[in-house]
């Protein structure tokens, strides 16, 4: 290869995300941050293009020298097809990401080189090897240096901001301090630290580079390292930012970190409640939730004016057919503003997958259907059909007008109740509109609306009028899956 390399970075999408008829808003929320992170290691002379199939058609008639493809579980099928296409055209194809780390042998068939784990050390090493004409077949982050200190600024110039509702997504850490048995985390970070953060000054510098007011922290657990979080929030105070993020229940109850987050601009938080059953929490290896008073968590956040997106998993071994109505009733009764429900999904590489496989409970390996909306294993306490029907019903019932009204009455003050009503109700009313806006490719025009509405939350918190905040609901979870 010459001095300047033509490099194409691609985030393939699952079919649903490319449908011209109906594409859920969630696929247009966030730009491909992982690929823009990798792009920062390329040479300034390299010719870079970045295509995200969730928001644009991938060009197939080009001739890049190197193709960098990110593989999640549900896009794996499409990722392999694109990899095969470019290899047939003579390009050097590399595959990495969560699914490649879980199933390297499956991915290796479609790639010249595969990457396991986070790639901040291995990708630059590969680029050097490639230029020296001696790339390896496989780079493994296990044993490699693992740090976010001194990482180059993300190549945000490659992201087509106008195609996303939330272009200001950011991650200031990797991983999580916990070890839930269904989570991607332990497999992905195997062989090194499973939770580490940027330096506070570098995280603040990245925030400073982002225009506008609204930020979305995609970190699995923004409050996971209290010292780091304290420094971050102190630095953000006075920046005038409004942000959303994710945390575990125990971190909300501990100390005054959550108050500091609110002072720094936190307005909505994703919380992994997962299940109301202590037996399920034990089996899922989620001690951070065990014995915690979920009601206190909700009251504390509500008192601070922070809206809650509660995450719940259905189909765990101690769930029975009543779990759906029990959970919805609890969430609505407590005034949880939005909910993200999942059908339990054993991802390959996780402890849950190994247990299920040994017990012969995995129904199939069609990764396209491992989307947390489809039953892919034999449940214990109910049939697969009951699980699917109950999951669908939970969404319907949680977002029914009656529930939205009841939820709005669960708050301590009238203004918070109105906020709930406007927020949850606003999403329902606006849902068909999102679809039209996405198709017209003018999503960026909605961003000022989102920012001004979030700013109104700010006013409301200080005692001002009620607001409506669109953008989050059943198809646009406030935190896209699994974290915390
Ligand atoms: C944002 C997000 C989304 C966004 C996608 C936005 C986007 N454009 O990237 C949306 C909302 C669309 C989404 C949807 C879904 N998501 Co999602 N999502 C995330 C989230 C929260 C953050 C991803 C992120 O930006 N990470 C930060 C960046 C810096 O890290 P990274 O992307 O992993 O990239 C690094 C490495 O992986 C590596 N790398 C990645 N690709 C490549 C390629 C090469 C060649 C190399 C060298 C290296 C490399 O280099 C990067 C730097 O180290 C993760 C959780 C998480 N913590 O990762 C879940 C997560 C990725 N999602 C998950 C799932 C299951 C889904 C859904 C299937 C679920 C659903 N019910 O909707 C859908 C389907 C998405 C699809 N296209 O298939 C799972 C994936 C599990 C798995 N084993 O694959 C995760 C891990 C959540 C979880 N805890 O379970 N998601
Ligand atoms: S599910 Fe959440 S709390 Fe558990 S390990 Fe994963 S990111 Fe951490």
Domains and CATH numbers, the chain: 6-140 (3.40.50.280), 165-403 (3.20.20.70)
Q: How many whole angstroms from 229 Cα to the centroid of ligand 2?
A: 17
Q: How far is 119 from 381, CA to CA, in rounded Å? A: 40
Q: Find the residues whose C-beta lies inside 6 A of ligand 2.
A: 176, 178-180, 183, 185, 220-221, 248, 272, 482-484
- Asked if residue 257 has its Cβ within 6 Å of ligand 1, the reply is no
Among 91, 98, 347, which residue has the most ligand 1 atoms within 8 Å of its CB, making it the best to mutate?
A: 98
Among 183, 189, 270, which residue has the most ligand 2 atoms within 8 Å of its CB, making it the best to mutate?
A: 183
Nearest to 180 by CA among 251, 90, 93, 272: 272
At residue 19, the pLDDT reads 72
Nearest to 162 by CA among 427, 426, 448: 448
At residue 175, the pLDDT reads 97
Burial category of 124 from C-beta neighbours within 10 Å (exposed 0-12, middle 13-18, buried 19 and up) = middle
CA end-to-end span of the chain: 43
At 10, which helix (H) or strand (E)?
Answer: strand 6-11
Atom of ligand 2 nearest to the CA of 175: 7
User: Residue 380 in contact with residue 317, Cβ under 8 Å?
Assistant: yes
User: Residue 67 in contact with residue 94, Cβ under 8 Å?
Assistant: yes
Q: How far is 250 from 178, CA to CA, in rounded Å? A: 11
At residue 453, the pLDDT reads 54
Tell me what percent of the chain is helix, strand and coil, each rounded to the nearest 5.
40, 15, 45
At 405, which helix (H) or strand (E)?
Answer: helix 401-408
* Per-residue pLDDT reduced to its tens digit, 377-421: 999 999 999 999 999 999 999 999 899 999 999 988 888 888 888
At residue 465, the 3 state secondary structure works out as coil
At residue 139, the pLDDT reads 98
The helix-helix angle for 447-461 and 414-439 (nearest 10°) equals 180
Burial category of 311 from C-beta neighbours within 10 Å (exposed 0-12, middle 13-18, buried 19 and up) = buried
Average pLDDT, consecutive stretches of 10 residues, N- to C-terminus, the chain (484 residues): 84 82 76 98 97 94 98 97 98 98 98 98 98 97 94 97 92 97 96 97 97 95 97 96 95 95 95 96 92 92 93 97 98 94 97 97 96 96 97 94 91 83 71 66 67 54 33 36 49
What is the pTM for the complete model shown? Answer: 0.92
Nearest to 286 by CA among 195, 185, 372: 185
């Amino acid at each position: 290869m010459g001095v300047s390399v033509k490099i194409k970075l691609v985030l393939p999408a699952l079919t649903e995300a490319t449908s011209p008829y109906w594409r859920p808003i969630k696929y247009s929320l966030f730009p491909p941050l992982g690929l823009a992170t990798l792009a920062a290691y390329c040479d300034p002379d390299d010719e870079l293009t970045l295509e995200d199939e969730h928001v644009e058609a991938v060009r197939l008639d080009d001739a890049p020298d190197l193709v960098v493809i990110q593989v999640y579980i549900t896009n794996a099928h499409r990722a392999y097809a694109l990899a095969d296409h470019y290899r047939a055209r003579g390009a050097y194809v590399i595959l990495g990401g969560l699914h490649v780390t879980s199933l390297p042998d499956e991915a290796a068939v479609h790639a010249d080189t595969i990457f396991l784990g986070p790639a901040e050390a291995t990708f630059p090493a590969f680029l050097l090897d490639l230029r020296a004409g001696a790339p390896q077949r496989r780079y493994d982050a296990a044993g490699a240096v693992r740090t976010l200190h001194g990482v180059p600024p993300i190549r945000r110039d490659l992201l087509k901001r106008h195609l996303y509702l939330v272009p200001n997504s950011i991650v200031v850490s990797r991983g999580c301090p916990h070890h839930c048995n269904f989570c991607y985390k332990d497999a992905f970070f195997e062989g090194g630290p499973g939770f580490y953060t940027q330096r506070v000054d570098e995280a603040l510098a990245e925030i400073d580079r982002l225009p506008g007011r609204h930020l979305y922290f995609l970190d699995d657990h923004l409050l996971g390292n209290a010292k780091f979080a304290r420094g971050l929030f102190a630095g953000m105070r006075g920046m005038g930012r409004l942000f959303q993020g994710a945390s575990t229940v125990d971190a909300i109850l501990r100390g005054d970190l959550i108050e500091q987050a609110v002072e720094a601009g936190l307005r909505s938080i994703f919380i992994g409640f997962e299940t109301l059953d202590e037996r399920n929490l034990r089996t899922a290896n989620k001690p951070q939730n065990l014995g915690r008073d979920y009601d206190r968590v909700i009251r504390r956040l509500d008192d601070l004016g922070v809206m809650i997106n509660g995450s719940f998993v259905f189909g765990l071994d101690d769930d029975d057919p009543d779990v759906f109505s029990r959970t919805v009733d609890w969430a609505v009764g407590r005034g949880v503003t939005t909910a993200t429900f999942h059908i339990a999904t054993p991802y390959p590489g996780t402890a849950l997958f190994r247990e299920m496989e040994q017990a012969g409970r995995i129904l199939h390996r069609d990764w396209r259907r491992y989307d947390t909306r489809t039953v892919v294993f034999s449940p214990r306490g109910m049939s697969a059909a009951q699980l699917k029907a109950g999951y669908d019903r939970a969404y319907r019932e949680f977002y029914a007008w009656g529930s939205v009204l009841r939820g709005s009455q669960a708050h301590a003050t009238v203004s918070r109740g109105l906020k709930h009503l406007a927020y949850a109700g606003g999403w329902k009313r606006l849902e068909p509109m999102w679809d039209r806006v996405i198709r017209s490719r003018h999503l960026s025009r909605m961003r000022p609306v989102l920012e001004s509405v979030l700013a109104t939350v700010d006013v409301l918190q200080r005692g001002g009028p009620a607001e409506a905040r669109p953008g989050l609901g059943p198809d646009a979870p406030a935190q896209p899956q699994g974290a915390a």
